[in-house]
Amino acid sequence: MSQPDADPRRLPNLPVAFFAVVMGLSGLTIAWEKAQHAFGLDLGINPWMAGVTAAVLALLVGLYTAKLVRYPKAVLAELRHPVKLNFFAAISISLLLLSIAFLPVNPDLSRPLWMTGAALHLIFTLYVVSVWIHHEHFEVHHMNPAWFIPAVGNVLVPVAGVALGFEDISWFFFSIGMLFWGILLAIIFYRVLFHDPIPERFMPTLFILIAPPAVGFIAYVRLVGELDPLAMILYFSALFLTLLLFTQARFFARLRFYLSWWAYSFPLAAISIASMLMFEQSQTETYRWIGAGLLAILSLVVAFLLVRTAIAISRHGICVPGH
């Protein structure tokens, strides 16, 4: 993928939302690892995919750090923006996802990634929720599913946390995520049903609705070790939201390309992984093939997004004022 700041004058406009690319690549990596386990295969691609994803994260961290050093006011503007603010948590989520991706490859690397990601995500959650409480400029039209990222993203922590031996901490983060999922889901549907439509550039974020119940299902099964009624509710809620959004495909197909299109990727990865975990827990073949089908779609989507993102960067459609 081309470097977002090939022209140094574009650095102040490097969006923090770029870290959603790492979320998508991490989700794809984890989904392929899960698929190999579900089908009893070993394609030998896990270390390579995890390594490439880590390299992309390192590149973006380097670029955004340069932006922070050289253009601190631009970073501060994003921190104060009612929508862009939420994407800072994509940094900590990227670390958490990489900890999951590296868990079967290198547990010694997975642990510091998880610890750093969990600590950083708690800081982001406390900061963002504090901003929500004391805001002076937020309005209903600012609300979109990207608001799930900092608060509800906490449900991701147990996925690797339990395996690494941090069970109580994992329950703590899981509880935070589930608390805010219920709160924000109600607000999102209120905003969608009774106010102006979500702007075109943020429409892809509707796919984020899939992620909380899908990741919540994965995390909950990790915590309790089995399927129970709550686990079933979480999985089927995610599956319903996936079907609902797939029926809206004609509307998404009309949208112009924005960086927000990466919001398609991680939620699709989450429901694919959840389906294959559902197969492992229930031994019902249907779920394995649902997961495989979703993984095929995810792989095509990520390949398409990489190409479109590279084209947009080369044509100065990203990292310009207003993006």
For residue 199, the 8-state DSSP code is: P
Helical segments of 166-255, H only: 167-194, 211-224, 229-246, 249-253
Query: How many CB atoms are located within 10 Å of the residue 240 CB?
Result: 12
Q: Which residue has the higher pLDDT, 120 or 196?
A: 120
Which burial class, exposed, middle or buried, applies to 253 when counting CB atoms under 10 A from its CB (0-12, 13-18, 19+)?
Answer: exposed
- Stretch 306-315: mean pLDDT, rounded? 90
- Measured CA to CA, the distance from residue 75 to residue 37 in angstroms comes to 41
pLDDT band at 156 (very low <50, low <70, confident <90, very high): very high
CB 19 within 8 A of CB 60: yes
Q: Which residue has the higher pLDDT, 12 or 26?
A: 26
Instruction: Report which of 180, 170, 185 is spatially closest to residue 219, judged by C-alpha positions.
Output: 170
pLDDT of residue 144: 86
For the chain, the domains span: 8-314
- Stretch 134-163: mean pLDDT, rounded? 88
Torsion of CA 187, 122, 222, 260, to 10 degrees: 50
- Measured CA to CA, the distance from residue 84 to residue 278 in angstroms comes to 34
pLDDT digits (tens, 9 = 90+) for 212-256: 999 999 999 999 999 999 999 999 999 999 999 999 988 888 888
Q: What mean pLDDT is reported for the chain?
A: 91
Buried b (16+ CB within 10 A) or exposed e, 87-114: bbbbbbbbbbbbbbbbbbbeeebbbebb
Whether 323 shows a pLDDT value over 60: the answer reads: no
pLDDT of residue 6: 45
Q: Which CATH architecture has domain 8-314?
A: Alpha/alpha barrel (1.50)
**Least reliable range by pLDDT among 187-191, 215-219, 267-271, 293-297:** 187-191
pLDDT of residue 253: 84
pLDDT of residue 13: 84
Q: Which amino acid is at 70?
A: R
Whether 7 shows a pLDDT value over 60: the answer reads: no
pLDDT of residue 81: 86
Q: Which amino acid is at 238?
A: A
Torsion of CA 279, 280, 281, 287, to 10 degrees: 0
Provide the token pair at 83: 């929508």
Percent of the chain beyond pLDDT 70? 96
pLDDT band at 9 (very low <50, low <70, confident <90, very high): low
Percent of the chain beyond pLDDT 90? 73
Whether 1 shows a pLDDT value over 80: the answer reads: no
Whether 2 shows a pLDDT value over 70: the answer reads: no
Q: Which residue has the higher pLDDT, 85 or 7?
A: 85
Q: Which residue has the higher pLDDT, 4 or 142?
A: 142
pLDDT band at 5 (very low <50, low <70, confident <90, very high): very low
- Stretch 141-151: mean pLDDT, rounded? 87
